[in-house]
Structure 1
Amino acid sequence: MAHTSEKYTKNPMIHRDRRLALSPSAWVRSFACEDLKPLIVCRGPIRKEAMDVYQEMGISHYGILLSEKDSIVYPNALAPELRTLTDSTRVHRVPDYTGASKEERVERIHQIISIAKDNGYDSIFAGYGFMAEDDEFVGAIEKAGLNFIGPCAATQTGAGKKDEAKRTALSVNVSVTPGIDNVTARTLVKKHGSREKLLALVASDGLQCDAKVLADEKLSIEDLADHILYASYNKGIDLFSIEELCAQVEAECAAMLKKHPQSRVRLKAIGGGGGKGQRLLGADLLTMQNASDADIAKAAADAPGLVREILNEVKANGVGDNKNVLVELNIEQTRHNEIQLLGNGDWCIALGGRDCSLQMHEQKLLEVSVTQEGLMTAIEEAKIAGRKAEVKALESDLKVLRRMEEESERFGKAVGLDSASTFECIVDRDRHYFMEVNTRIQVEHRVTELCYALKFVNPEDPKDFFVVESLVEAMALLARHKKRVPKPQRIVRMNAAVEARLNATDASLSPHAGGMIRYWSKPIEGEIRDDQGISMVNPDTGIFMKYKVAGAYDSNIALLLTTGEDRKTSYDKMSEVLRATTLRGSDLATNLEFHYGLVNWFLGRNVMAKPTTRFVVPYLTLVGTLKEEANKLDPVYAFLQMKKNYAKRVSEAYPEPDVQAKEAKNMSSLLDRKGTLIIRPIERLLGDPHLLSGWLSINTKNFRIDNGKVVWLRNPVGVLNETYEYLHMNHRPHKPAAEIIWSHDNELLQQALRFSRTLREHFGLARDEYFTLNEIVNKEEPQGGFDADTWQQIRSAHFGYEAGLELLGMLFLVGQNTKFWDLRVEEDLEITIPEYLTDPELQARMKKILVPPPATKADEIVAACGGMYYGQEAPGMPPFVYEGMHFEKGQPLYIIEVMKMFNKVYAPFAGTIDKMLVTSGDGTIVSKGQPLFKVTPDEKFVEVDVNALEKEKRALTSDYLKAVL
């Protein structure tokens, strides 16, 4: 393993000249890549990154593959990269990248190779799409005499297929997840029963097998079956039916669920990735102390349907396809960690880790660097602060990271890794299990390259070297010079980096395709944005060019990255980036607010916390409860009631009618001046629960609740000012008034801040000594050397500036009433998830609270989201529903394919299908809210009484006011 104490650069945005051909060193010049001629056959941010890197490397003869889906099926989704690559001879078109079927996929492989050869390209780069880890595609490229910029076909087969990778891992003493990697072999053995019958099958079907393998009686019957299966794939025939495979998987799942009580089973296609081709079963067993055989059988009975979904999703349900599916124990409380690898076939180097536990739908959301240097920095900080449990937890992480790096390098050498790949593990406290290898560069690769650079040193002269900062560049270097490339040293650039995936999803993180981006703010200082050029403006007019978010591919729009000397700094910068990012469009939904709330949730707790892969759904459920509670409050009504409360106080304080009238008028005028100053940020926070979640977290230490009353521990004036900053509503003269604090409100707020700061400094108090300041100001006798008149003016001003700010306390009560702080980070960095947040029914209900279903009539069922409609589980299977059929609540009605994923949609109520409104069949594009079926519900829908709701809202708001006034 490579270690270093050398620091390369403080600024990750500063790049060395990538043109090695310009070096004065002959040895360095010998590694120039300017004669490389790559065809880029991927899309999205990685395509733009490859174009930029190749340009900087001096590679001028490169081209891109453009899918017609980008520009024909989805108008205005034309690849924004074409704004910089204007040479039409370097843009090559195909209908889509991989084809819709096995036959189309083979056709597309040959088409791409023909395009490369006909246009003078000598290599192909496939980025991080599925083509990048397709051994058949890579093998065809190599057979055609072209270079593949990525792992070779042999490595793709040995490491890229999940079953083969698991066997290799076991052979080199790498810990793996408990499970079964040869269910297809077991299916074949179950069908034929003996070695003799398997050998007879070889003869009857004319399979080309290795005679030595067939004659080896020491070989287990399952290994023999595996060998025969591979021969059947080569011939393009099936030796068992999908039904037989499904039955075997069901039996294996039942056995595993019985062996591991209160667990779930994960089914994974061997060629899946990025969350595609994976399903979980057994959720109902998690809470059962003593599940019966009948309970287990019921859970396992879901397996056949899930297997069909998986094979359909990864397009492995054709005749002759390898249909193997991994059946693994799902390690429930796990973190998803991965190690970046680089190799040349002889050597392999680990480049630190990434924590990718913050994910949903098996799709990563927030990815954080995990490096030895970063962990050691955090350990020292925790030691200085005296946080012993945290020190122990971080030291455990450091040991696990070192073990993972060592094992990953051993695995990489075993499979002859000759490019970039990722060694993925699940981590359970101080243990880790190898999960799979992604034989491609990852979406989150920038998290690693922002932490480490690569120093390649001349073996004959240690002063002769060159530095590579980009993994895309390193892959090109390895593809061009192969085993000539010496093993590099890794050099620390920064101790921490974090990446947020900006996706086209709604507030519940469900896919939301079809929106139009019409404006995107410019990146701020310290922001690294990979957005494939979407946010580029027209170079002639300076006007933003609108972009359609298509649903044909994944949901990612951009990758936002920041760095720091420690994780907190990188999170602080990410918070600032998300705060300053403005996206506008029509029918546009992104997870920007989710990320902002989540990052600030960690900033308010502990950024070194250890979330598991189960964190996001309970967190979203908690955010849903915030919205449900916030929907019951009326801040305008609260403000008006507060004015009445103050009027009552005045009447009690001044019994003389004339004085009372005067003071009441003054108080009413004062509060009216502050109305919008107070109400606007409260309305914004109540209106967006993701923003409210982050705000509550970072303000955790600014209040407490005593006997049901909110007690401020910090000056509410300062909290209000920070709230405007948090909401990006602070005063900025160039912004529209609707987006910022209004000028008269800002003037009043700045006056209040100056007064508070001056008074605090006079008494020598720190910012967090507000409680002490309040005690001083509440004294009637003059304090601090002031005379009586001045002291009364000070007290009046203090009271006036803070009057009305009590309403902010309603936000704390929303958190209190939803048990917001019960989801917490413990001293040992583990996260406690309250049990109620794991309730599937509550999770489903809160998802609808976050994003209410589309408006519909009582006699219709409409599309839950936009995408491609399928009315059956797989080709040849019966339809889910048909006209005249009665359906039950929770029964599957249809499948929507959106952002690469197949989403099964279930009936929200029981009823009868009167008419099918989607007449063109499977593969039809539908939009969100589009009627799909005319139905007759079993029960009549009850209309909501709006007046009763408003009455309830005001009653609850009044209860809140009692706790803050």
Structure 2
Amino acid sequence: MFSKILIANRGEIACRVIRTARRLGIRTVAVFSEADADAQHVRLADEASPIGGSRPADSYLRGDAILEVAKQSGAQAIHPGYGFLSENADFADAVEAAGLVFIGPKAASMRKMGSKAGAKELMQAAGVPVVPGYTGEDQSPNTLAREAARIGFPLMIKAAHGGGGKGMRVVRALEEFMPNLESCQREAANAFGRDRVLLERYIESPRHIEIQVFGDAQGNAIHLNERECSAQRRYQKVFEESPSPFLTPELRKAMGEAAVLAARAIDYANAGTVEFIVDPAGHFYFMEINTRLQVEHPVTELTTGLDLVEWQLRVAAGEPLPLKQEQVPQHGHAIEVRLYAEDPEAGFLPGSGKLERLDLPEPSQQVRIDSGVVEGDVVTIFYDPMIAKLIVHDRDRPAALARLREALAQCAIEGPKSNIAFLEALARHPAIVEGRIDTGYLDRHLDEFTGRHDADPDLLLAAATASLLQQEQATRAAAARSTDPSSPWAIADGWRLGHAGQRRLAFQHRDERIDLVAQGDGGRYRIAHGSRLAAVEGARLSGHELSLRIDGEGRRFRVAVGQDCIDVHDGDRRLSLQPRAVYRHEASSQDAGDDRVRAPMPGRVVAMRVAVGDRVEQGQELAVIEAMKMELALKAPRAGTIGELRAQAGDFVEADAVLAVLED
């Protein structure tokens, strides 16, 4: 076994590898960019060295800088994590040439499997069913457009290298092909360092099933069961589970055998994932092979009881696989969701900023948290905006879903916006509960998960009550600190100057301001909201638990009160409110007019489509910005003439920065 390894990655996977290595008595070396100087993986590692600027191309994609740190630190091996250089055969070769061990497959295997195009051709030659498409070396726009017309529509453009939903587009008409091709190539080059793409026929209403495989240097290869990742938004997996509710025992056996056959055919060693697309009739087709550990590997770990990172380290050190195929266990059901800093109500725009509050459920045998950040850390614009992975395990699928809903109810994030409410809607949706979701369902029915709803009256009353109780607690604390017991300010009896205990409260709920009037104290209030007057009695706030009676009916809520946000949850529904000053005018987002085109998030301008003086129509694309490896097109809010441009390609801009100004 190794005595010291270097982790050539960041975030939760770097933290995961460090913790496993520590348990095995292995010292660790972390590398970090300028943006990650205070990151958790830097704090957890035994040693850490800077490798460059904040952008991946200036740091985590610099194999030479990573190797230099490895040599200077005395590391014997490099763990690439997932993403960045994890599937780069040239980097694997360079690691081996430097006399170090690459904790992953050999470069020769990676070159056969790391390219989606090459892997598809290999599988087709081996007799594995593949989807019709084009995987050729000729990447000229004319050739790709001609092949697209031959394959027919709808078709998918896919980055030939990498994964994670980046560099993928569905095109349904020939006239849409070139703009999508250019965007896909830019996104692929930025995320993976290569812009090669492949084309394939798009299968309607498919399921996405992947098989975890493992091989060793002795020629053994097995699979560790399947994971279903059919719940996706724009090809980004948002809900992963094992076992799949769709597979029959016969189909499960056939797909597992096909995955192992693929691994043996190329002498595969270490962890990999063979991904299949399955049509509604149960016919499966090879999709791609990921020569790395996947983000969703925890569901395999929880249902098998195995530590896949430990397996990676042991296999890389020359040890044989610890189990044979017939010894691989399968216990219960596991589900993983990913908590992101993003705004589902605004098209899932990625967010950034300081995590002012990060409430996550306490880890247990049934609940696991994999995260690379803690409260107080900053989510930056330079990397994927994932905050944490929440993984649950229970005896069967219904119990695991219930466990997931309970765990999500305990989550609260203050700072950047998050997708928690979206995940809660997902965990309760009939398509998920009944196990019938396909890879395109979310994109076709997104309004079922992100629809804007009015604030529930009972949740609003609970939030107001919690706010009142917090105010009274602060008043009592101030009175206790008073040095003048005769002062009226030292009396915490509910007396208010100028009126008999009447207080006004104001909250912001999405784009709506909510005003309430409350009277009373000590847990007994009359709260008015519009025409409704409710009686609240017996209110008690203990930690995060609020119990009370609303118009005589007993209720219990989970409440998280922060400086800038109040989260209330009744077990099924969530309400997030921002306290507002009662008498302060809040400017409307429309006050500035519609002649300024602003950046909806911090990011880098990758393209400006117009120049000063150009005449544009409403909806015309004006600019493209990129943040967290995703591209967003900014469009004209109305027809007009470009009177001013305040940014150019390559500029980094903050959220709400004005990029262009329209004139009549």
- Cα distance, 1:254–1:569 mapped onto 2, change above 3 Å: same
Q: 1:859 aligns with which of 564, 588, 595?
A: 595
Q: 2:289 aligns with which of 420, 426, 437?
A: 437
Query: Distance between the aligned counterparts of 1:154 and 1:160, measured in 2?
Result: 10
Q: Counterpart of 1:613?
A: 439
Q: Counterpart of 1:675?
A: none
Q: 2:657 aligns with which of 930, 944, 949?
A: 930
1:24-423 counterparts in 2 under 5 A? 33=1, 35-59=2-26, 61-71=27-37, 78-85=38-45, 87=46, 90-96=47-53, 99-100=56-57, 108-182=62-136, 184-185=137-138, 245-257=140-152, 263-282=153-172, 299-315=173-189, 324-345=196-217, 346-370=219-243, 397-423=248-274
Contact persistence 2:425–2:449 (CA under 8 A): no
Q: 1:132 deviation in Å?
A: 0.6
Q: Counterpart of 1:791?
A: none
Q: Give the aligned residue type for 2:283.
A: R
Structure 2 unpaired stretches of 5+: 461-504, 514-537, 557-569, 574-587
Q: Give the aligned residue type for 2:640.
A: G
- Cα distance, 1:48–1:624 mapped onto 2, change above 3 Å: closer
- Cα distance, 1:139–1:607 mapped onto 2, change above 3 Å: same
Query: Distance between the aligned counterparts of 1:853 and 1:150, measured in 2?
Result: 50
Contact persistence 1:511–1:898 (CA under 8 A): no
Q: Secondary structure at the match of 1:882?
A: coil
Q: Counterpart of 1:903?
A: 632
Q: Counterpart of 1:580?
A: 410
Q: Secondary structure at the match of 1:574?
A: helix
- Cα distance, 1:364–1:930 mapped onto 2, change above 3 Å: same
Query: Distance between the aligned counterparts of 1:124 and 1:305, measured in 2?
Result: 39
Q: 1:685 deviation in Å?
A: 12
Contact persistence 1:317–1:323 (CA under 8 A): no
Q: Counterpart of 1:749?
A: 554
- Cα distance, 1:38–1:907 mapped onto 2, change above 3 Å: same
Q: Counterpart of 1:231?
A: none
Question: CA RMSD for the aligned pairs?
Answer: 3.4
Q: 1:305 deviation in Å?
A: 2.9
Q: Counterpart of 1:595?
A: 423
- Cα distance, 1:855–1:546 mapped onto 2, change above 3 Å: farther
Contact persistence 1:478–1:485 (CA under 8 A): no
Please state if 1:474 is matched with 2:369. no
Q: Give the aligned residue type for 1:615.
A: Y
- After alignment, is 576-585 or 438-447 more displaced? 576-585
- 1:69-88 CA-partner distances (Å, limit 9, x unpaired): 223xxxxxx21234444x5x
- Cα distance, 1:750–1:570 mapped onto 2, change above 3 Å: closer
- Cα distance, 1:137–1:472 mapped onto 2, change above 3 Å: same
Contact persistence 2:299–2:335 (CA under 8 A): yes
- 1:686-717 CA-partner distances (Å, limit 9, x unpaired): 999xxxxxxxxxxxxxxxxxxxxxxxxxxxxx
Contact persistence 2:595–2:637 (CA under 8 A): no
Query: Distance between the aligned counterparts of 1:303 and 1:636, measured in 2?
Result: 47
Q: 1:280 deviation in Å?
A: 1.8
TM score, norm. by length of structure 2: 0.78
Q: 1:303 deviation in Å?
A: 2.6
- 1:405-428 CA-partner distances (Å, limit 9, x unpaired): 111000011121101011111111
Q: 1:889 deviation in Å?
A: 2.6
Query: Distance between the aligned counterparts of 1:492 and 1:44, measured in 2?
Result: 29
Higher relative CO (Cα under 8 Å, sequence separation at least 6) belongs to 1
- 1:442-484 CA-partner distances (Å, limit 9, x unpaired): 000001111114xxxxxxxxxxxxxxx2100000000001558
- Cα distance, 1:687–1:574 mapped onto 2, change above 3 Å: farther
Q: Secondary structure at the match of 1:613?
A: coil
Query: Distance between the aligned counterparts of 2:296 and 2:626, measured in 1?
Result: 24
Contact persistence 1:341–1:350 (CA under 8 A): yes
Q: Counterpart of 1:795?
A: none
Q: 1:684 deviation in Å?
A: 8.8
Query: Distance between the aligned counterparts of 2:511 and 2:241, measured in 1?
Result: 29
Q: Give the aligned residue type for 1:929.
A: D
Query: Distance between the aligned counterparts of 1:523 and 1:40, measured in 2?
Result: 27
Q: 1:744 deviation in Å?
A: 4.6
Larger radius of gyration: 1
Contact persistence 1:495–1:564 (CA under 8 A): yes
Q: 1:909 deviation in Å?
A: 2.7
Query: Distance between the aligned counterparts of 2:74 and 2:17, measured in 1?
Result: 18
1:680-695 counterparts in 2 under 5 A? none
Contact persistence 1:169–1:175 (CA under 8 A): yes
- Cα distance, 1:484–1:634 mapped onto 2, change above 3 Å: closer
Query: Distance between the aligned counterparts of 1:335 and 1:855, measured in 2?
Result: 46
Contact persistence 1:896–1:903 (CA under 8 A): yes
Q: Secondary structure at the match of 1:302?
A: helix
Query: Distance between the aligned counterparts of 1:159 and 1:884, measured in 2?
Result: 49
Structure 1 unpaired stretches of 5+: 1-32, 72-77, 188-244, 258-262, 283-298, 376-393, 454-468, 536-544, 638-679, 689-729, 752-807, 812-851, 873-878, 938-965
Query: Distance between the aligned counterparts of 1:316 and 1:577, measured in 2?
Result: 35
- 1:137-161 CA-partner distances (Å, limit 9, x unpaired): 1111112111011111111101111
Q: 1:523 deviation in Å?
A: 2.5
TM score, norm. by length of structure 1: 0.54
Query: Distance between the aligned counterparts of 2:551 and 2:540, measured in 1?
Result: 10
Contact persistence 1:513–1:867 (CA under 8 A): no
Please state if 1:735 is matched with 2:543. yes
Query: Distance between the aligned counterparts of 2:591 and 2:395, measured in 1?
Result: 49
Q: Give the aligned residue type for 2:52.
A: P
1:826-865 counterparts in 2 under 5 A? 856-865=592-601
Contact persistence 1:247–1:304 (CA under 8 A): no
Q: 1:888 deviation in Å?
A: 2.0
The structure carrying a bigger helix percent of its residues is 1
Q: 2:398 aligns with which of 568, 579, 591?
A: 568
- 1:859-895 CA-partner distances (Å, limit 9, x unpaired): 211113221122x2xxxxxx40010001123322111
Query: Distance between the aligned counterparts of 1:63 and 1:131, measured in 2?
Result: 17
Contact persistence 1:855–1:929 (CA under 8 A): no
Query: Distance between the aligned counterparts of 1:854 and 1:55, measured in 2?
Result: 54
Q: 1:519 deviation in Å?
A: 1.9
Contact persistence 2:51–2:60 (CA under 8 A): no
Q: 1:349 deviation in Å?
A: 1.0
Q: Secondary structure at the match of 1:142?
A: helix
Query: Distance between the aligned counterparts of 1:36 and 1:421, measured in 2?
Result: 24
Contact persistence 1:511–1:865 (CA under 8 A): yes
